[in-house]
Structure 1
């Protein structure tokens, strides 16, 4: 019989479970001592293939989460071990209520050439935690501590791979441009001491390192420590937590300093809300360093020896950017278009495949020389008040057809979003569909932090 428990936990960006486990560790097969796994980098997030009970899925590698989490977006496919399940209700970051979850034990999980049996996995039944529409590719879950604790984990953001190695003590000298930083842990999550400069004040901060947070920095406002936003900020939607949407102030700090590495004019968010107030009480935590900062380094995590090695990469000096349009878009289903791409072969009309098409409808209209195909639908799901997009008349639910004269079927979701991170004053033209009718808009990106 299933047992139902009511557990209220506070999460980092996504979710964290303060649960102890006697599970075995990951083990390499075939006598290997290391393995390299290539990943997709989408919105700064590392997406790796994970095999759960012989089914290949896509997981975000998230150093801010303690137990693997499976999202309820598998269309009813049974992935987890059906035995030894317990139901929970969890509350985390966001403005929503508690959500349902299931704890499943005795699962087999494989990452590259490493395997682990008897893995505990949590399944979350909450549509807001479905990252597939937000990232534009299938995302089935997140995994963190179970990988980091069992391996030395090298993350190469430039070449898009992680290397998992058996833990060993760091012997000899570091590379000339590398720096070794001690890690502290709370609830199995890694923290470092860094420094932020706000209004010419250099302030030491204790920061969670979170590869699953796409932003650069989150800081929790604390006037007693001079951690406060300046007048140069705007209110923004920051993303999703377990219990719903997250909001706060978006601004800049004059500098973020990690050992001798100095990142100037770093973006920062000051999240607000009841759940954030609780997070502030966790072991003097001042905030989070996310992947917009971490991707500027080659990283080596060694949890066993409690250190991190940093080496800056070619991303280091790139300017920080953010979405200046004021709209957030997601991949919501598909839309039908007429495909006029055709050619004659041996006297027959042959239709060429549209690159972004996901499916073809077999009916062809020879009189008009087109066929219907389905392509991704990119829908506006959030609009910042008084933003360029909102002031020009764009609305929630608008489906984007064209950006700057090009059909969005030629873009991935992330490529469209990247257009919104262009320079101040960049012109954007956008054709949208609203209630079956087309509307054309033109606006200019505006940097509110200039």
Structure 2
């Protein structure tokens, strides 16, 4: 940019910053952009249906979107590779329908605010403000790729703020930018063509910060003022069950293995047995190793995020039969994600996860003491004597409950895939100054999952409230992640199996209730590692990945990169990673543990004495 252009742009910004100019120019921009898009023809528009070719995640398909511009109601239906589904807004609720026809109404996180802002845009309320609730609108000039954009900064009451960028020359909508709790999404509009007196964008691209998440719609047909009915936008009815219990049963009880505060259940995929992580925070996932064993042909090229900073590639495949315990599911969609490296973190072969798709169909009771999962047909189940009910809303596909932490109101995702008791997301921690409030504390690796390791500040809090249930003396992880799930601005955090294992937990997704019943560990003090080590499985033993400063491990001289080859004289090869981690966590303060370590080809023995770290 030349100095003259920079100076001219600065002067423009100064001019538009004056209050009187702001009102005049905002009115002028809205009038000019409406006239360019169709003017009087827009006044006659009641509804519009777009049919298009769809490209997303390396897949191709088709879709249709019907919008009632008088109310902002909308419905989209699509087919994309092995997937199909729908999503809509009925004027009050947003809903989505997955590839099996199962419907979810998400109201957690910032979903309600998203719906308010989407309704505002769908109703063209920046031109017709009486169609929706009020909004504050600001205006500025934006230079973008050597072109001037006239940007409206819109903040609907109860919605997410967003920006509408209009090209200063053509006056046509160029892009919409919205910053949400989980991502910043940009939708651009191109290739405008005349249709019935209107100019309609025939190429619409949506993306967030990662290009692999992008969606492209190429419009092939435009229908103006189609007849619409309430039923077009209504939440669809539930589909016919795609599962069955064997031998006339209505429930199934099966054991699970509890490793690193994670639940592993045996699942047969097309008749072959695999151990899958039971995770309320995830959808169905298998590794490429499993896909090859089943001779599947995954398609697509997407990216998925987890708790760490990095993302992973993902493809998709269908599995004909999925059986766990006495329940069999038909024709299930799985993401295929390269998560084999989690075997080193878990200490057991990692084959994948099963979550939302199971919980949405069945009532699931997890008995952490007995190490059993009971799956029940919702039609034959009653909540008699199963514990205290806690209502939840869906944050996407994850249950979210209301609660508090040391008196601070909070909202928590319930995530059986998290090993921690309570994980607090970075923005919530910063907003309430929790690192200064919750002391003493330590800085350490607190987890390891999709996206790599996650770091945080770990401390104890006096009380955590989940619904009406209060739990005292709880360990919390205050995330320091700047990417991934733990950096989201909503909800406040998550509740993991570290805390859930104190109860018998029943998930009733059909009625959006979680029930907590007392168990053997309900009143136990929350335990946390007493060594200051994070160790992973490695060739020849356990690799030291992180050492907490001034911890027993640090005082004993352990370093990152050391390999533990024996524990109290027993070869590491004869012990599981989970057992060693449990020993370092649950061993009584004052217990001495002797570790044989390999460092730069030299063997040495060190002794550490366990103690509480905070």
- TM-score scaled by structure 2? 0.58
**Structure 1 residue 110 corresponds to structure 2 residue 326:** no
Using a 3 Å threshold, how does the CA distance of structure 1 residues 250 and 34 change in structure 2: closer, same or farther?
Answer: same
Q: Distance in 2 between matches of 1:407 and 1:319?
A: 31
Residue 21 of structure 1 corresponds to 98
Using a 3 Å threshold, how does the CA distance of structure 1 residues 73 and 438 change in structure 2: closer, same or farther?
Answer: farther
Using a 3 Å threshold, how does the CA distance of structure 1 residues 448 and 34 change in structure 2: closer, same or farther?
Answer: same
Question: How much does 1:150 deviate?
Answer: 0.7
SS in 2 for 1:168: helix
**Structure 1 residue 93 corresponds to structure 2 residue 307:** yes
Residue 153 of structure 1 corresponds to 364
Question: How much does 1:279 deviate?
Answer: 4.8
Residue 61 of structure 1 corresponds to 278
Give the counterpart of 2:595 among 415, 430, 449: 430
Q: Quick check: 2:309–2:484 contact (8 Å CA) kept in 1? A: no
Gaps of 5+ in 1: 8-17, 336-376
Structure with greater contact order relative to length (CA < 8 Å, sep ≥ 6): 1
Residue 372 of structure 1 corresponds to none
CA deviation string 1:345-373 (max 9, x = no partner): xxxxxxxxxxxxxxxxxxxxxxxxxxxxx
SS in 1 for 2:296: coil
Give the counterpart of 2:390 among 181, 191, 194: 181
SS in 1 for 2:505: strand
Q: Distance in 1 between matches of 2:362 and 2:267?
A: 16
Q: Quick check: 1:80–1:104 contact (8 Å CA) kept in 2? A: no
The 5 A counterparts of 1:286-435 are 286-333=492-539, 335=540, 377-421=541-585, 422-435=587-600
Residue 91 of structure 2 corresponds to none
Question: How much does 1:293 deviate?
Answer: 0.8
Using a 3 Å threshold, how does the CA distance of structure 1 residues 180 and 4 change in structure 2: closer, same or farther?
Answer: closer
Question: How much does 1:132 deviate?
Answer: 2.0
Q: Distance in 2 between matches of 1:171 and 1:381?
A: 47
SS in 2 for 1:292: helix
SS in 1 for 2:293: coil
Question: How much does 1:106 deviate?
Answer: 4.7
CA deviation string 1:135-163 (max 9, x = no partner): 22222111111110111111111111111
Q: Quick check: 1:203–1:226 contact (8 Å CA) kept in 2? A: no
Residue 346 of structure 1 corresponds to none
> RMSD of the TM alignment (CA)?
2.7
Using a 3 Å threshold, how does the CA distance of structure 1 residues 27 and 227 change in structure 2: closer, same or farther?
Answer: farther
Using a 3 Å threshold, how does the CA distance of structure 1 residues 380 and 227 change in structure 2: closer, same or farther?
Answer: closer
Question: How much does 1:247 deviate?
Answer: 0.7
The count of aligned residue pairs is 381
Q: Distance in 1 between matches of 2:431 and 2:599?
A: 49
Which structure is larger by alpha-carbon Rg, 1 or 2?
A: 2
CA deviation string 1:238-287 (max 9, x = no partner): 112322221111011111123453321100001122226885333xx111
Residue 376 of structure 2 corresponds to 165
Give the counterpart of 1:33 among 246, 250, 270: 250
Question: How much does 1:179 deviate?
Answer: 1.0
Question: How much does 1:5 deviate?
Answer: 2.7
Give the counterpart of 1:79 among 289, 294, 310: 294
Using a 3 Å threshold, how does the CA distance of structure 1 residues 5 and 225 change in structure 2: closer, same or farther?
Answer: same
**Structure 1 residue 448 corresponds to structure 2 residue 610:** no
Residue 280 of structure 1 corresponds to 488
SS in 1 for 2:247: coil
In terms of mean alpha carbon deviation, does 39-48 or 234-243 score higher? 234-243
Moved over 4 A (4+): 169-172, 222-229, 276-279
Using a 3 Å threshold, how does the CA distance of structure 1 residues 268 and 302 change in structure 2: closer, same or farther?
Answer: same
**Structure 1 residue 235 corresponds to structure 2 residue 446:** no
Question: How much does 1:416 deviate?
Answer: 1.3
Q: Distance in 2 between matches of 1:439 and 1:321?
A: 29
The 5 A counterparts of 1:202-217 are 202-217=407-422
Question: How much does 1:213 deviate?
Answer: 0.6
SS in 2 for 1:110: strand
SS in 1 for 2:404: strand
